[in-house]
Each structure stands twice: as structure tokens, then as C-alpha cells.
């Protein structure tokens, strides 16, 4: 405990670096998944392909991907950019199939009646289709957020600064409290983000009282 | 014989499904429990095989309290047919029919042989034996459901809106087949439905329920049509509507039955006093004198006795 | 990184010396598979019965979902290093983290497998006189088997990744190559190790995907 109190500034610094690597993949995965999912839904074979690729992508452990990226795109092994890109790919692997399901779950009848009422295609997407797919999308983003925040720590073994550095440093110097602090801080950050997303969902989708507590 | 003695069912949360229900169901009789949703009819039926236990009161079979029986063994001794058949989707038709006999320890070969006989009894093409339920039509699924209910040769058959999910034409077909089966097999049938026509057609005795499992009237279809106990029953059976107030008109030397709106409903067959052309379980009724030609049964038109 | 590091990795992989001996690729792969099998097996012994119970009875559902959610938020590397310090070198420390990280997938797979059966089908089975055990083993499990295998698949993916990180604190397995390469600034070796892990992960995932397809109950797909 005393280690934690003496090193609050270190923990705070790593938390900041952690968020810098975690938030862009979460936001990017969400934003990019919407057009990709719409595209995938427009063709049956494309949808099957996307689902299969996503499943395989998700099976690849994160560290090998962190290692391969510098060789492919010319970044340094310790560059946080590798982490951001790799985690965006994972986020997409999870989010695109989810968004695809979400859009498919919107009833054809509702969309048809919206068109009949005179919604232009863009307005129909933003005002009808997206909000109705919202609960499924939210479920996907929650899983992406929690797993992204947890995976950022793996970069620590390569020397990329994040809360993962507490594990690397802790095991090297034999300080249990440092590792425990890292575990607690990472889990707390993930659960806090998750709670914020649930709250955001309630604000944006008041018709859907977050009764859905389970995850895929 | 099945007995209900002051049965009450209250669900946690305070919903009162059945208030105070007493009834005796004679052996080898088909009883139809009919009522709207919330009348407690399914709850009452499910008390017989202990799918539901009453909060107070007793349910007895041949004088023995079912509460004292092992629910699993009790259920294996009672046939159960439900809406949308409830068949196991991953088992073939034949395996579905043999489920209960196999659970009771009947040898597989013997159970299968009996299942094939039953498929014939309920009018299923033997070629369907190796199909899966999803490959059958709704009507075929219900026939499998009936065969499965009969597979262990139970004395009691519980039927929970068994024909509710099939289209009207198939439903009538299944109803007449059930009548035929009952003439041959003479089981004690408890049949739950919200359709009064179906209740009149299947039931030797019909129990009309108000919400909360309160009995509005018990009697044969004839008795109920001839003397509805009150306005609720009269309106429920439609006695106040044209379709049930039939009269006879003579056309070209034949007696044509016409409803209150003047629409023809059928032709009287044979002598008016004969009464032998009934279409529903006539043999077991013993109340032939109620079988007035102007009654409900006449409205069914011409149906061969067998 | 003066030359193309991928060519270097290929060179590293094609060296016959890498394919024999105690630190050779076959043995490291076997170690990795052994860790994975052991981790998933022990976790399954704990999580599957609990998941089946939760799914069948509907009791403690909230607790199971919540526990699985919290377990998912735990950082893999954090558990691996924490147990390494607390328990010391040996198989126990990494195994503990494998089991903890495999449990959420298996638990969710098991209870969703049981829950996926149509309540009307289960009701009908009970009404016909099946015991609760017969309902579980003859109705719910056969119908939900692909979901249960899906849980095993998720757990396997998780443990393959965790087993690689365990090499950071001294375990064997394919992760060794990556960390040795990291220590000696040998980027081609890191790439070679990464490719090996990726291949192993994909092969396992595909095998379980096929198993998942094979366990889909006949009859339900044909509509």
C-alpha cells in the first residue's frame, strides 16, 4: 500500500499514457464499424467473409501482432502507434459483426414505414436505423472498451509505456504491491469506462432501459 | 376419475390464478375447460400432472392425492399434448414418439413398433418417421404431438390448446380425428381451449370458466346451449347471436336449417326425431334427449358419422 | 532493421537446428499446447458444471454474469506477473492465471448453451416426465452444444495468448522466442516467434470452429 501512496504520480502518468492508447482504438472501431457493417450487409457473401475474417482475427494473440506491425508499417518496436493500430483492428473484428447484426435487427417494417413517411435515405439512417440498432451497438462497444483497456497493458513487455509498465517493473523489482496496483487500476479503468458507456446509453436511448446486463 | 377439491393457486407476487375450484371429472370422459386468458384453465390442467402445485386444496386421481405422488412418475403416466407441439427439435418423429416409453424402460424395438402403429392411428404417413419436427407442417407436428401423448398408453390425456397454432381447416380435421380416436380409445381427456366451438365439439362435458378459475357453468353442450346459466355464459357461447338461433325451413321437400340472419347452415338428415347423426362423441354422452335438431350440432352441416 | 526483417524471420525458421532439441520448435509447440490443454481443462472442470447449474435453474445468473464481466476486465499480463511473484517459478503460477482467464468464456458458454433451449420444449419435456437431469442431458445440452464448444473456443484463444505471456516470467512455450529476441534485439527472431504463435492460434481456432459446426444438432437447421 505504501508503494502506491509514494508513487501516485507514476500511476497517474501511466494512466494518462494508457488512455491515450486505449481511447482512439475504441472510438475508431466504433466509427469505422458503421460504414463497414452497412457495406457488409449489402452483400451476402461479403457478410459471411467479414464474419469469418473477424473470428480469425480475434483468435490472433495481441503480442505477436504488436511485434509484426513495426515490420509491416515501418514504425519502431516501442511506438504506441503499433498498439493503437493493432487494437483498432481487434476492435473492428469485434464491432463489425456486432454492428452488422444490430442493423439487421432493425425491423424492415419500421424502415419501410419511415421511407413511406418521407424520410430521405440519410435522415432515415441517422434518425431511425442508427437509434434502433443502438442497444446492440452499445453492447458491442462495451465489450470493445473493456477488452481494449485490458490489452493495452501487453505493450508493457515491449517497453511501450502504459499501466502495463507496473507489471513489468513490478516483476523485475519484485514489488507485489506495484503489480497489484496495476491490476486494480486497469480493471477499475475498464469497469469505469463500461459504467460510463451504460450511462451514456441511458441518456441517448431513454426508451431502452439498460436491462441487458449480459454480454456476448 | 379426477377430482379438484377447493383448489386455489396464488403466484408469488400476488397474482391469483385460481380462487376456489371444485370439480369432478368422470373416467373415460372428455372434459373441455374453456375460458378467456386469465381464466386459469391451463393452470388447472397443469395441476393434474403436477406441473403446477396448488397453493391450497387437493387434486386427486382415483381418490389419491397427486401431491403424494412422485411428479416424474406421475407425468410419465399421463399423456400431455400442448400447443405448437413442444416436440424435441433435435430428435426424429419416431424418437419423439418413443420418448416416454423409453424413459419408462420399454425396449427400444418394442417402443418403435408401437410408435409406428400410433403414427398410423393418428393418420401420419410412415415415411415421416425419420423426419425432424422442423421438416413437418403444423398439422403433422400436432399429430406427432398426439401420438407422443398416447405412446405410453396413459389413462389420462391432457391437451393444452393443442390445435391453437394450426390453420382453421387443419384444425377441424384434427378435431374430428380426435373425436374418432376418443370413440375408439375412451381416455379421460382434459382439453383446454379458448374456442367455444372446439369445446362443444370435443367435450362430453364443458366447463366454462370466468377469470380466476370461477366456474360459470358445467354441462353437456346441449345443456349449456339450451339453458345458459347467466348472461356471461349466454354471451360466451354466442346464444344471443344469430349463428346459434337456428330454425328449420322447408325447401323443395327437404328440411333446411337456417340461422337468424337467414343463412343456410345445413340440411336435416333423416327423420327429425332420430338424432343419430351426431358428430361429436355421441356414444359417451347418455343425454341424447338434449340433442335437439335446432341445436348447435345441426349447424355443423352434413358430416358422416364415421 | 537494415534488411527486410521478414526475410530474416524466414531464414531463422528454415534453420534445421531450430527444429530439434529441448528449445526446438516442436518441443516448444508441444509445451504451448500442453499449457493450453491443461488450463482449459482445469477451468472447464470448474466453470462448466457451475454454468450448467446456472443455466438450468436460472439461479445466481446475475452473479455469474457479473463475475464473468469483472474477470474479463482483468489484465492478462497483470495476473501472470502477480502469480509469478506470489507463487514463484513453476507450473502453478501460470496455470492459475490460465484458469482464471479461461473461466469467463466457459461459464458464459455453458449457461448460454442451456438457456438457448426453447422454454416451450423444456416445459414439454418436463410435462412428459423427464427428470431435471434428463432434461439437461437429453434436451438442453444437445441443443446448446455449439454454444458450449464456442465457450471452449473462446477460452482456448485466451489461454494460447496467456501461455505466450507466461514465457515472460520464465515458462516455456512459443512465447520464449519472442522474449529471447526482445532481450537480444533480434527482431527477425521475434517475428518468427510471433508467426509460430499466430499459426498455432489459428489452427486451434479453426479446429474448434469445425467441432462447433459438427456438434450442431441435426433437425434444428433444416427448416
Task: Please indicate, yes or no, if residue A211 is contained in any of the structural domains.
Answer: no
C 126-145 residues with CB < 8 A to B: 126-131, 134, 138-139, 142-143
Q: For chain C, how are helix, strand and coil distributed in percent, rounded to 5?
A: 80, 0, 20
Q: Could you write out the three-class secondary structure of B108-138?
A: HHHHHHHHHHHHHHCCCCHHHHHCCHHHCCH
Residues A191 and A183: their CA atoms lie apart, in Å, by 12
Q: Checking DSSP bridges between strand B16-25 and strand B2-10, what pairing results, if any? A: antiparallel
Instruction: Provide the 10 A C-beta neighbour count for residue A110.
Output: 13
Chain segment C41-85, per-residue pLDDT in tens = 999 999 999 999 999 998 888 888 888 888 888 898 999 899 988
C129-168 pLDDT, tens per residue? 999 999 999 999 999 999 999 999 999 998 998 888 888 8
Distance between CA atoms of residues C65 and A176, nearest Å: 29
Instruction: Round to the nearest angstrom and report the end-to-end CA distance of chain A.
Output: 36
Q: Are strands B2-10 and B56-61 parallel, antiparallel or unpaired?
A: antiparallel
Task: Give the per-residue pLDDT at A216.
Answer: 37
Q: Please check the confidence at residue A110 and state whether its pLDDT lies above 50.
A: yes
pLDDT over 80 at B246, yes or no: no
Residue B289 exposed, middle or buried by CB count within 10 Å (0-12, 13-18, 19+): exposed
Assigned domain for A214 exists:
no
CA dist A211 and B89 (Å) reads 30
A11 φ/ψ angles, rounded to the nearest 5 degrees:
-60, -45
Closest CA of chain A from C131, distance in Å: 29
Instruction: Find chains touching chain B: ≥3 CB pairs under 8 Å.
Output: C
Domains in chain C, ordered, with CATH? Answer: 5-214 (1.10.3720.10)
Which residues are CB-contacts of A77 (< 8 A; sequence separation ≥ 6)?
A67, A70, A158, A159, C187, C190
In the predicted structure, residue C221 carries a pLDDT above the cut 70: no
Give the pLDDT mean for B130-153. Answer: 92
Cβ-proximal residues to B8 (8 Å cutoff; 6+ apart), any chain: B18, B19, B20, B21, B54, B55, B56, B57
User: Which is more confidently placed, B206 or B272?
Assistant: B206
Q: Within a domain: residue A209? A: no
- Set of cell numbers at residue B101: 416409453
Q: The cell 393457486 sits on which residue?
A: B9
Question: Cβ contacts (< 8 Å) between A167 and chain C: which residues?
Answer: 75, 77-78, 80-82
Indicate yes or no: CB of C219 within 8 angstroms of CB of B90.
yes
Residue numbers in C near A62 (CB within 8 A): 161
Where does the pLDDT of residue B287 fall: very low under 50, low under 70, confident under 90, or very high at 90 and above?
very low
Q: Which residue did the predictor score with more confidence, B278 or B119?
A: B119
Query: B85–C222: do the CB atoms touch at under 8 Å?
Result: no
Over range A122-150, report the average pLDDT.
91
Residue written as cell 382415483? B62
What pairing do the DSSP bridges indicate for beta strands B156-160 and B78-82?
A: parallel
The total of other beta-carbon atoms located within 10 Å of residue C216's CB is 14
Torsion sign, CA atoms B176, B178, B184, B189: negative
Helix, strand, coil % in chain B, rounded to nearest 5: 40, 25, 40
Nearest neighbour of B135 by CB, restricted to C121, C126, C222: C222
Q: How far apart are the first and last CA of chain C?
A: 57
Calculate what percentage of chain A has a pLDDT beyond 70: 95
* Confidence at residue B126, expressed as pLDDT on a 0 to 100 scale: 93
Phi, psi of A163 (to 5 degrees): -60, -20
Which chains have 3+ CB pairs within 8 A of A? C
pLDDT of residue A27: 96
3-state secondary structure of B202: helix
Residue A70 lies in a domain: yes
In the DSSP assignment, the letter for residue B88 is -
* Cβ contact, residue pair A63, C209, below 8 Å: no
| Strand ranges across the sheet with B264-267 | B247-251, B254-258, B264-267
Q: pLDDT tens digit string along C168-213?
A: 888 888 888 989 888 888 888 889 999 999 999 999 999 999 999 9
What is the mean predicted confidence (pLDDT) over A20-25? 95
At B26-75, the pLDDT tens digits run 999 999 999 988 899 999 999 999 999 999 999 999 999 999 999 999 99
Residue A213 lies in a domain: no
DSSP 8-state symbol, C67: H
CB atoms within 10 A of CB A212: 14
Helix (H, G, I), strand (E, B) or coil at B166: coil
The helix (H) or strand (E) run that includes residue B81 is strand B78-82
Give me the number of domains chain A comprises: 1
Q: Per the CB < 8 Å rule, is C120 touching B91?
A: no
Mean pLDDT of chain B: 84
The reply to whether A37 falls in a domain is yes
- C-alpha grid cell for residue B235? 354471451
Q: Which residues of B touch C219 (CB under 8 A)?
A: 89-92, 132-135
C182 and C165 Cβ atoms separated by less than 8 Å: no
* Residue in A63, A70, A163 nearest the CB of C165: A63
CB C188 within 8 A of CB C5: yes
Please give the Cα distance from C157 to C177 (Å, whole number). Answer: 19
Q: Is C63 exposed, middle or buried (0-12, 13-18, 19+ CB in 10 A)?
A: exposed
Chain B residues with CB within 8 Å of chain C CB: 46, 49, 51, 72-77, 80, 82, 84-92, 99-100, 103, 132-135, 148, 158
CA–CA dist A165, C13 (Å, integer):
31
Under the banding of pLDDT at 50, 70 and 90, the label for residue A197 is very high
Range C151-178 burial, b when 16+ CB lie within 10 A, else e = bbbbbbbbbbbbbbbbbbbebbbbbbbb
pTM (two decimals): 0.81
Neighbours of A46 (CB within 10 A): 14
Query: How many other C-beta atoms can be found within 10 angstroms of the C-beta atom of residue B126?
Result: 11
Who among C65, C76, C190 is closest to A154 (CB)?
C76
Scanning the structure block, which residue is given the C-alpha cell 432434461? C135
Q: In what order do the strands lie in the sheet with B56-61?
A: B16-25, B2-10, B56-61, B64-65
- Across residues A63-76, what is the average pLDDT? 87
For residue B264, pLDDT over 90 is answered with no
Structure confidence at residue B78 (pLDDT): 94
Residue C92 has pLDDT above 90, yes or no: no
User: Domain containing A68 — which CATH number?
Assistant: 1.10.3720.10
Give B39's DSSP letter: S
Q: Of A158, A167, A190, which has the smallest distance from its Cβ to C182's Cβ? A: A158
Find out whether B93 and B144 touch, Cβ atoms under 8 Å: yes
Rounded-to-integer distance, Cα A8 and Cα A2, Å:
10
**Which 3 state secondary structure label does DSSP give C129?**
coil
Distance CA A138, CA A98 (A): 10
| Res B190 pLDDT > 70 | yes
Answer whether C124 sits within 8 Å of B86, measured CB to CB.
Answer: yes
Indicate whether A91 belongs to any domain: yes
Interface touch A63/C74, C-beta < 8 Å: no
C12 pLDDT more than 90: no
* pLDDT for the residue C21: 79
CB B21 within 8 A of CB B52: no
Which residues make beta-bridge pairs with B214?
B210
Distance from C-alpha of A88 to C-alpha of A81, rounded to nearest angstrom? 10
Mutate to test the interface with C, among A167, A181, A187 (most CBs of C within 10 A): A167
Query: ∠ CA C96-C99-C105 to the nearest 5 degrees?
Result: 155
Rounded to an integer, the average pLDDT of A198-202 is 92
Are A22 and A163 in contact by the 8 Å Cβ rule? The answer is no
Instruction: Find the angle CA(B19)-CA(B22)-CA(B28) to the nearest 5 degrees.
Output: 135
Residue B250, pLDDT above cutoff 50: yes
Per-residue confidence (pLDDT) for residue B296, from 0 to 100: 39
Based on C-alpha coordinates, what's the Rg of chain C?
21
Chain A nearest CA to C41, separation (Å): 19
Confidence of residue B79 (pLDDT cuts 50, 70, 90): very high
Q: Do C127 and B87 touch (CB under 8 A)?
A: no
Half-sphere exposure of A179 (CA within 13 A, CB side): 22
Report all structural domains of chain B as residue ranges with CATH numbers, in order of start. 2-235 (3.40.50.300), 242-300 (no CATH)
* Cβ atoms of residues C81 and A179 within 8 Å: yes
- Give one word for B213, left, alpha or beta, with left for phi > 0 and alpha for psi -120 to 50: left
Cell 397474482 appears where? Answer: B15
Section B191-210 average pLDDT: 93
Asked whether the predicted pLDDT for residue B92 surpasses 70, the reply is yes
Q: How would residue C93 be classed by pLDDT, with cut points 50, 70 and 90?
A: confident
Q: Are residues B201 and B280 in contact, defined by beta-carbon separation less than 8 angstroms?
A: yes
Only one residue has cell 480475434, namely A58
Question: What average pLDDT score do residues C107-130 get?
Answer: 92
Q: Say yes or no to pLDDT of B288 above 80.
A: no
Asked if the structure places residue A73 within a domain, the reply is yes
Q: Give the domain range for residue A107.
A: 2-204
Amino acid at each position: 500500500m505504501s508503494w502506491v501512496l509514494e508513487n501516485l504520480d507514476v500511476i497517474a502518468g501511466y494512466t494518462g499514457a494508457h488512455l491515450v492508447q486505449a481511447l482512439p482504438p475504441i472510438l475508431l472501431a466504433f466509427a469505422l464499424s458503421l460504414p463497414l457493417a452497412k457495406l457488409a450487409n449489402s452483400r451476402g457473401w461479403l457478410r459471411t467473409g467479414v464474419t469469418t475474417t473477424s473470428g480469425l482475427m480475434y483468435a490472433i494473440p495481441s503480442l505477436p501482432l504488436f511485434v509484426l506491425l513495426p515490420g509491416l508499417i515501418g514504425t519502431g518496436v516501442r511506438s504506441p502507434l503499433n498498439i493503437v493500430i493493432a487494437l483498432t483492428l481487434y476492435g473492428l473484428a469485434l464491432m463489425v459483426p456486432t454492428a452488422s447484426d444490430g442493423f439487421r435487427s432493425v425491423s424492415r417494417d419500421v424502415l419501410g414505414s419511415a421511407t413511406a413517411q418521407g424520410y430521405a435515405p440519410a435522415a432515415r439512417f441517422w434518425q431511425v436505423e442508427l437509434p434502433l440498432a443502438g442497444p446492440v451497438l452499445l453492447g458491442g462497444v462495451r465489450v470493445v472498451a473493456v477488452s481494449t483497456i485490458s490489452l493495452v497493458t501487453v505493450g508493457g513487455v515491449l517497453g511501450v509505456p502504459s499501466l502495463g509498465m507496473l507489471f513489468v517493473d513490478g516483476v523485475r523489482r519484485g514489488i507485489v504491491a506495484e503489480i497489484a496496483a496495476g491490476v486494480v487500476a486497469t480493471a477499475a479503468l475498464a469497469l469505469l469506462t463500461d459504467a460510463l458507456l451504460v450511462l451514456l446509453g441511458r441518456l441517448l436511448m431513454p426508451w431502452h432501459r439498460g436491462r441487458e446486463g449480459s454480454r456476448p | 376419475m379426477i377430482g379438484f377439491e377447493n383448489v386455489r393457486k396464488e403466484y408469488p407476487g400476488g397474482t391469483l390464478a385460481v380462487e376456489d375450484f371444485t370439480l369432478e371429472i368422470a373416467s373415460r370422459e372428455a372434459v373441455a375447460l374453456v375460458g378467456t386468458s386469465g381464466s386459469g384453465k391451463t393452470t388447472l390442467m397443469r395441476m393434474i400432472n403436477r406441473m403446477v402445485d396448488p397453493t391450497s386444496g387437493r387434486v386427486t386421481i382415483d381418490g389419491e392425492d397427486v401431491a403424494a405422488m412422485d411428479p416424474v412418475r406421475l407425468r410419465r403416466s399421463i399423456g400431455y399434448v400442448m400447443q405448437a407441439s413442444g416436440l424435441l427439435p433435435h430428435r426424429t418423429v419416431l424418437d419423439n414418439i418413443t420418448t416416454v416409453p423409453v424413459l419408462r424402460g420399454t425396449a427400444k424395438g418394442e417402443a418403435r413398433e408401437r410408435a409406428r402403429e400410433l403414427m398410423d392411428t393418428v393418420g401420419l404417413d410412415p415415411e415421416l418417421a425419420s423426419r425432424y419436427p422442423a421438416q413437418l407442417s403444423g398439422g403433422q407436428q400436432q399429430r406427432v404431438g398426439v401420438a407422443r401423448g398416447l405412446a405410453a398408453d396413459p389413462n389420462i390425456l391432457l391437451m393444452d390448446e393443442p390445435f391453437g397454432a394450426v390453420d382453421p381447416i387443419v384444425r377441424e380435421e384434427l378435431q374430428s380425428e380426435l373425436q374418432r380416436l376418443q370413440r375408439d380409445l375412451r381416455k379421460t381427456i382434459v382439453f383446454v381451449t379458448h374456442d367455444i366451438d372446439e369445446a362443444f365439439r370435443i367435450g362430453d362435458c364443458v366447463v366454462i370458466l370466468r377469470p380466476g378459475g370461477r366456474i360459470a357453468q358445467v354441462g353437456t353442450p346441449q345443456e349449456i346451449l339450451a339453458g345458459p346459466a347467466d348472461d356471461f355464459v349466454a354471451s360466451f357461447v354466442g346464444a344471443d347471436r344469430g349463428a346459434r338461433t337456428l330454425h328449420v325451413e322447408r325447401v323443395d321437400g327437404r328440411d333446411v336449417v337456417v340461422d337468424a340472419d337467414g343463412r343456410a347452415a345445413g340440411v336435416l338428415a333423416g327423420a327429425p326425431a332420430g338424432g343419430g347423426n351426431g358428430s361429436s362423441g355421441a356414444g359417451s354422452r347418455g343425454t341424447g334427449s338434449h340433442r335437439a335438431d335446432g341445436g348447435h350440432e345441426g349447424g355443423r352441416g352434413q358430416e358422416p358419422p364415421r | 532493421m537494415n534488411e527486410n526483417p521478414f526475410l530474416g524471420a524466414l531464414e531463422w525458421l528454415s534453420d534445421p537446428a531450430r527444429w530439434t532439441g529441448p528449445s526446438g520448435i516442436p518441443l516448444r509447440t508441444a509445451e504451448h499446447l500442453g499449457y493450453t490443454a491443461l488450463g482449459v481443462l482445469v477451468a472447464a472442470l470448474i466453470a462448466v458444471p457451475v454454468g450448467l447449474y446456472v443455466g438450468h435453474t436460472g439461479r445466481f445468473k446475475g452473479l455469474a454474469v457479473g463475475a464473468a464481466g469483472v474477470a474479463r476486465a482483468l489484465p492478462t499480463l497483470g495476473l501472470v506477473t502477480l502469480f509469478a511473484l506470489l507463487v514463484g517459478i513453476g507450473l502453478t503460477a501460470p496455470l492459475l492465471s490460465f484458469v482464471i482467464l479461461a473461466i469467463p468464456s466457459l461459464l458464459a458458454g455453458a449457461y448460454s448453451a442451456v438457456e438457448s433451449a426453447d422454454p416451450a420444449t423444456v416445459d414439454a419435456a418436463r410435462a412428459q416426465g423427464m427428470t431435471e437431469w434428463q432434461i439437461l442431458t437429453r434436451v438442453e445440452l444437445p441443443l446448446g452444444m455449439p454454444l458450449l464448444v464456442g465457450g471452449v473456443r473462446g477460452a482456448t484463444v485466451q489461454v494460447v495468448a496467456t501461455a505466450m505471456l507466461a514465457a515472460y516470467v520464465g515458462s516455456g512455450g512459443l512465447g520464449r522466442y519472442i522474449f529471447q529476441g526482445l532481450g537480444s534485439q533480434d527482431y527477425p527472431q521475434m517475428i518468427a516467434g510471433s508467426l509460430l504463435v499466430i499459426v498455432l492460434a489459428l489452427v486451434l481456432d479453426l479446429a474448434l470452429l469445425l467441432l462447433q459446426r459438427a456438434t450442431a444438432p441435426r433437425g434444428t437447421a433444416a427448416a
